[in-house]
Chain A
Amino acid sequence: MNINNIKKEFPIFNNKVQNNDLVYLDSANSSQKPQLVIDRIYDFYTKEFSNVGRSVHYLAVAATNLYENTRVLVQKYINAKDANEIVFTKGATEAINLVANTFGQNFLKEGDEILLTELEHHSNYVPWHYLRKLKGVNIKFADVNEKGEVTIESIEKNITNKTKIIAITHLSNVTGAILPIKEITKLAHSKNIPVLIDGCQGAPHLKLDMQDIDCDFYAISCHKMYGPTGLGILYAKKKWLEELPPYQGGGGMIREVKKEGITYGDLPNKYEAGTMATAQVIAFGESINFLNKIGINNIEKHESELIKYGEEILRKNNSVKLIGNPKNKGSVLSFTLDGVHPHDIATILDEDGVAIRAGHHCCQILHDKLGLSATARASLGVYNVKEDLDKLNESLNKCKKIFNT
C-alpha cells in the first residue's frame, strides 16, 4: 500500500463537503476511516454477528475468535509481551480512569504525589484529580518549556520520595512535542515509580514497542488510529493487571459468584465486564492490518516531511505564530493568526472545506500557561498531502483579507 496514494482508501474523500473537496486537518481529534474498516463492521453485523465469550454455537465461537484475534494483532503491533496485557476499554479516557481508579484504591494514601505535566489533555488530569478528594493525594505538574516540550530534567526535578506514579503524554496534542518516554520510564523505574503513558496522539503516528519503552501502562484511542469510535486500549504490564482490583463489575469478568462472595476471572476478562464493543474490536483489527500494510516507518517519514513542510509555509506567513517549537515534533501544527480569533479562523476555513479545530483542545492548563484562551490546530493523518497544507495557508490568507489584517 503506497502512502502517497492512500487517500483513495478513505471513502470520505470521495464526497464533497459543502461543495468543497475535503481538506481534513483534524486527525488529532479523530481520524477518518479506511473502507476496509467500515466494511468490516458491516460484514460482521451482516454475516457473522454474535456476542463473544458466552455461547457455544458456531457464530459465538467465530465471533470470539475474531475478537481475540484483534487482541493478538494489537499485542504484536505494540510489541507487548503477552496478549493478556491488552485490555479493551470504551476509549483511552476509560483506560486512564481504570488505572487511576484501581491504582488509587490499592496504592495511594494521603500526602502521596502523582506527577503529571502541563501538557496533559484533560483526560490525563481529571481522572487523577478525583484522587485528591478520595485519597488526599497531591498532584504536581512538570513544567513545559518555551519550546512547548517537557524535558526529563523537568520530570526529575518534580520527583520526590512521595511520588507514587507518573502519568505523561507521549505526544502533545497542542505543541506536538514528543516526550522522551523511554528515558523518563527508566528514570522513574530507578526510583520504583510506575509510569502511565497517554498514547492517544503517539499511537497513530509513532512506532510502538512496549517492551523497549518498558512503561507500566499505555493508553490508546482507537478512533484516532483509523479505527471505530467507542473503543480504546489499555496496555498494562501483566503484574499490574494481576495485582490491581477489577474496575467495573458485571458479566464476563467473574469466575464464581456466590451469595457469600465472588471470585474474578483471569486476564483479560477481569477488566472486560459486560458486553464489549465487539464489532468495533473486530473492525479495529483491520485498522491494525491497514497500518501494517503501509508500515509505521513509512507513516513516520511521510508525516514528519509534512510537518516540516507545514511549519515552513506557516513560518513564511508573517501573520501566523506557531505554538511550540519542540525538537521532536509530530503530527500537529497549532497556531494563532494576528487579529483573527481561532474560532473565526475555523469558520472561515470551513467555508473552503478545510477542517481544523479551534479552542483549548482539552488542555486548559497549557493554554493558561501560554496566556491564550484558544489556538487553532491543524493535525495530520496518513492521508494528508502537501497540497492540504497549501490549501490551509491559502485559506488563512483569506481570513486576513476578510479581517483586513
Chain B
Amino acid sequence: MNLKELYQEIILDHGKNPRNLRKTDNFNKDAKGHNPLCGDKVHVYLKLNENKKVEDISFEGEGCAISMASASIMTDLVKGKEEKEVKEIVSDFLKMIKEKDEIKTNLLKDDEKTKLMCLSGVKQYPMRVKCATLSWHTLTSAIDRSQNEINTENMDI
C-alpha cells in the first residue's frame, strides 16, 4: 500500500479546493447520495440543455478528501458532454475503479484521463472505494432519476 499513490497532489488539491462546489441555478436534474457507513453526503445538480448536453454541473456535500476530489474532478470532466457521453464516462470510471487499470473512453483527452487515473489508488483501500464512487453513482441517479437517494450500502462498489 502506498499513501502517496492515494493522496496524490491532484487529489489533495481538488479535495481542499473542490471545483463546482455550489448549487447550479435553474438545475433540471439532481440527486442525493449518502454513504451511511462514514456519513459522506453529496447532492449533484445538473442543467441539461435542449440537446441533452451538460450546460452546468455542480455539487454540494461534505466528506473526506477522496470523495470531495472525486466529485470535483467528475464535475470538471463531464461539463459540456452529452447525456449519453456522461453515462459512458461514468461506466468507464466505475470499471477502472473496480477491475481495469485504464480509462478506455475516447470521450476524454489524455490529460483528463490522467486526472481520473489519480483516483485509481483507492483500489488498494477497499474501505475507501465507496468514497470515490459515491458522487458518480449519484450523477447516474440524477440523469436516470432512478432512485431518490443513492445509498452506497446497496451498491457493489
Q: How far is the CA of A373 from the CA of B34 in the complex (A)?
A: 11
Cβ-closest chain B residue relative to A18: B1
When the two chains form their complex, are residues A341 and B16 in contact, meaning their CB atoms are under 8 A apart? no
When the two chains form their complex, are residues B125 and A347 in contact, meaning their CB atoms are under 8 A apart? yes
Inter-chain pairs besides A344-B7, A404-B12, 5 sampled, C-beta below 8 Å: A343-B64, A348-B3, A359-B38, A364-B39, A373-B63
Partner of A351, one of B3, B16, B41, B62: B3
B128 CB–A CB distance under 8 Å = yes
Q: How far is the CA of A253 from the CA of B38 in the complex (A)?
A: 40
Q: How far is the CA of A342 from the CA of B64 in the complex (A)?
A: 7
Given the known inter-chain contacts A347-B6, A347-B125, A351-B3, please indicate yes or no for A373 contacting B39, CB distance below 8 A.
Answer: yes
When the two chains form their complex, are residues B62 and A373 in contact, meaning their CB atoms are under 8 A apart? yes
Q: How far is the CB of A252 from chain B (nearest CB, A)?
A: 35
Q: How far is the CB of B2 from chain A (nearest CB, A)?
A: 9
Given the known inter-chain contacts A351-B1, A373-B40, please indicate yes or no for A341 contacting B12, CB distance below 8 A.
Answer: no
In the bound complex, residues from chain A placing their C-beta under 8 Å from that of B6 are 347
In the bound complex, residues from chain B placing their C-beta under 8 Å from that of A295 are none
Q: How far is the CA of A347 from the CA of B1 in the complex (A)?
A: 11
Partner of B128, one of A340, A342, A343, A404: A343
Q: How far is the CB of B4 from chain A (nearest CB, A)?
A: 8
8 Å CB interface, A384-405 against B: 402-404
When the two chains form their complex, are residues B39 and A402 in contact, meaning their CB atoms are under 8 A apart? no
Q: How far is the CA of A18 from the CA of B2 in the complex (A)?
A: 12
8 Å CB interface, A1-34 against B: 18
When the two chains form their complex, are residues B16 and A359 in contact, meaning their CB atoms are under 8 A apart? no
Which of the listed residues B1, B38, B40 has the most CB atoms from chain A within 10 Å of its own CB?
B38
Q: How far is the CB of B42 from chain A (nearest CB, A)?
A: 11
Q: How far is the CA of A258 from the CA of B116 in the complex (A)?
A: 68
8 Å CB interface, A312-368 against B: 339-344, 347-348, 351, 358-360, 364, 367
Cβ-closest chain B residue relative to A375: B39
A-B contact count (CB 8 A): 49
Q: How far is the CA of A341 from the CA of B63 in the complex (A)?
A: 7
In the bound complex, residues from chain A placing their C-beta under 8 Å from that of B128 are 343, 347
Identify the 7 closest CB pairs spanning chains A and B, nearest first.
A341-B64, A343-B64, A373-B39, A374-B39, A344-B64, A344-B65, A359-B38
In the bound complex, residues from chain A placing their C-beta under 8 Å from that of B64 are 341-344
Chain B at the A interface: SS class: mixed
Q: How large is the interface on A (under 10, 10 to 19, 20 to 34, 35 or more residues)?
A: 20 to 34
When the two chains form their complex, are residues A403 and B3 in contact, meaning their CB atoms are under 8 A apart? no
Q: How far is the CA of A374 from the CA of B1 in the complex (A)?
A: 25
B66 CB–A CB distance under 8 Å = yes
In the bound complex, residues from chain B placing their C-beta under 8 Å from that of A364 are 39
Q: Chain B: how many interface residues by the 8 Å CB criterion? A: 20
Which of the listed residues A18, A340, A373 has the most CB atoms from chain B within 10 Å of its own CB?
A373
When the two chains form their complex, are residues A343 and B131 in contact, meaning their CB atoms are under 8 A apart? yes
In the bound complex, residues from chain A placing their C-beta under 8 Å from that of B125 are 347
B37 CB–A CB distance under 8 Å = yes
8 Å CB interface, A128-179 against B: none
Q: How far is the CB of B23 from chain A (nearest CB, A)?
A: 18
Q: How far is the CA of A367 from the CA of B38 in the complex (A)?
A: 12
Given the known inter-chain contacts A18-B1, A344-B66, A373-B62, please indicate yes or no for A358 contacting B38, CB distance below 8 A.
Answer: yes
Given the known inter-chain contacts A373-B62, A403-B12, A404-B12, please indicate yes or no for A343 contacting B38, CB distance below 8 A.
Answer: yes
Q: How far is the CB of A398 from chain B (nearest CB, A)?
A: 9
In the bound complex, residues from chain A placing their C-beta under 8 Å from that of B3 are 347-348, 351, 402
Q: How far is the CB of B72 from chain A (nearest CB, A)?
A: 14
Q: How far is the CB of B148 from chain A (nearest CB, A)?
A: 19
Q: How far is the CB of A20 from chain B (nearest CB, A)?
A: 11
Q: How far is the CA of A347 from the CA of B65 in the complex (A)?
A: 11
Q: How far is the CB of B121 from chain A (nearest CB, A)?
A: 11
Q: How far is the CA of A191 from the CA of B38 in the complex (A)?
A: 40
Q: How far is the CA of A358 from the CA of B131 in the complex (A)?
A: 13
Cβ-closest chain A residue relative to B122: A347
Q: How far is the CA of A339 from the CA of B15 in the complex (A)?
A: 10
Q: How far is the CA of A373 from the CA of B127 in the complex (A)?
A: 18
When the two chains form their complex, are residues B39 and A359 in contact, meaning their CB atoms are under 8 A apart? yes
Q: How far is the CA of A403 from the CA of B39 in the complex (A)?
A: 21
Q: How far is the CA of A145 from the CA of B12 in the complex (A)?
A: 35
In the bound complex, residues from chain B placing their C-beta under 8 Å from that of A18 are 1
